[in-house]
Amino acid sequence: MKTNDVMLQTVTKVVTFIILMFAVHIFFAGHYTPGGGFVGGLLTASAIVLLMLAFGIQTVKKIVPVNYVVMTSVGLLLAIATAAASILFDVPFFTHAYDYFDLPLFGKTSLHSAMLFDAGVYLVVVGVTMTIIQTIGEDE
């Protein structure tokens, strides 16, 4: 069932990157403006799904050779480790810490341990969504 989808493929090549950039933006901006790890992860997954629809699952597997199960576990570990790290500083489980730093290029930026946790959420969401879609899609 090979159809001619030149238009879809051409648009996808551009749109995917726009979605991915937006996903990264929304992930980092999440703490102050709408967004966050969950939405960011979903957007990233939707970009990859778009690629899959346009080019087929096997092709996408070649260009994005990521093991999504590993990605999920890394995300979970990152989230748990962030939450548990507070124990090392003798504060209750899940206490977050943040401060403001002057970084080159960015200027005054707030760095927040919640961001690490959110990164864990991001990885789990992308990992699980893609695991589900890949396993169902590949199944004959």
Residue among 90 and 139 whose Cβ is closer to another protein: 139
Give the integer Cα–Cα distance in Å for 110 and 97: 11
Identify which of residues 90 and 99 has a Cβ nearer to another protein in the complex. 99
Return the bridge partners of 103, or none.
107
Asked if 112 interacts with another protein (CB under 8 A), we say yes
Q: What minimum distance in Å lies between the beta carbon of 90 and another protein?
A: 19
Other Cβ atoms less than 10 A from the Cβ of 123: the count is: 24
User: What is the end-to-end Cα distance of the chain in Å, rounded?
Assistant: 15
Of 28-87, binders to another protein (CB under 8 A) are 30-39, 42-43, 45-46, 49, 53, 68-69, 72-73, 75-76, 79-80, 83
